[in-house]
Amino acid sequence: MADDALRAAFDELRGRLIEAGHLIPCGVDGVYGKSAEYERVWAGVGAAASRLAAPDGPVLCSFPPLLPRVTFDKVEYVRNFPHLSGPMFSFRGDDRAHAELIRRLDEGQPYADLLQQTDVAFTPACCYPVYSTLTKAVPPGGIVFEHHSYCFRHEPSPDPMRMQAFRMWENVRVATPDDVLDWRSTWLSRFAELFDRLGLDARTDIASDPFFGRAGRLMAQGQRAYQLKIEFLVPVFGESEPTACASVNYHLSHFGELFDIRTADGDAAHSACAAVGSDRCVVALFQRYGMETDTWPSSVRAVLWP
Ligand code: 5GP
Ligand code: ZN
Can you tell me which atom of ligand 1 is nearest the CA of 164?
A: 19
Protein residue with its CA nearest to atom 10 in ligand 1: 246
Pocket-forming residues, ligand 1, beta carbon under 6 Å: 125, 153, 155, 161-163, 166, 168, 231, 244-247, 275, 277, 279-280
| Helix axes 177-198 and 36-53, enclosed angle (nearest 10) | 140
Can you tell me which atom of ligand 1 is nearest the CA of 229?
A: 3
pLDDT at site 136? 79
Distance from C-alpha of 257 to C-alpha of 253, rounded to nearest angstrom: 6
pLDDT at site 224? 95
Query: What does the CA dihedral 12, 203, 53, 247 come to, rounded to 10 degrees?
Result: -70
Per-domain boundaries in the chain: 3-86+124-304, 88-122
| CATH topology (fold) of 3-86+124-304 | BirA Bifunctional Protein; domain 2 (3.30.930)
Question: Which of helix, strand or coil describes residue 151?
Answer: strand
Point out the ligand nearest to the CA of residue 81.
Answer: 1
Q: How confident is the model at residue 134 (pLDDT cuts 50, 70, 90)?
A: confident
- What's the half-sphere exposure (Cβ side, CA atoms, 13 Å) at 197? 18
CB burial string 209-226: b at 16+ within 10 A, e below: bebbeeebeeebeebeee
Q: How confident is the model at residue 1 (pLDDT cuts 50, 70, 90)?
A: confident
For residue 126, the 8-state DSSP code is: S
pLDDT at site 189? 98
For residue 112, the 8-state DSSP code is: G
Q: How confident is the model at residue 257 (pLDDT cuts 50, 70, 90)?
A: very high
CA of 145 to the centre of ligand 1 (A): 19
Q: Which residues share a beta bridge with 207?
A: 229
Q: How confident is the model at residue 135 (pLDDT cuts 50, 70, 90)?
A: confident
Can you tell me which atom of ligand 1 is nearest the CA of 170?
A: 6
Protein residue with its CA nearest to atom 14 in ligand 1: 277
Cα torsion angle, 242, 151, 129, 48, sign: negative
Q: Assess whether pLDDT exceeds 90 at residue 218.
A: yes
State the average pLDDT for the chain: 96
Cα torsion angle, 64, 69, 72, 77, sign: positive
CA of 237 to the centre of ligand 2 (A): 25
Mean pLDDT on 266-291: 97
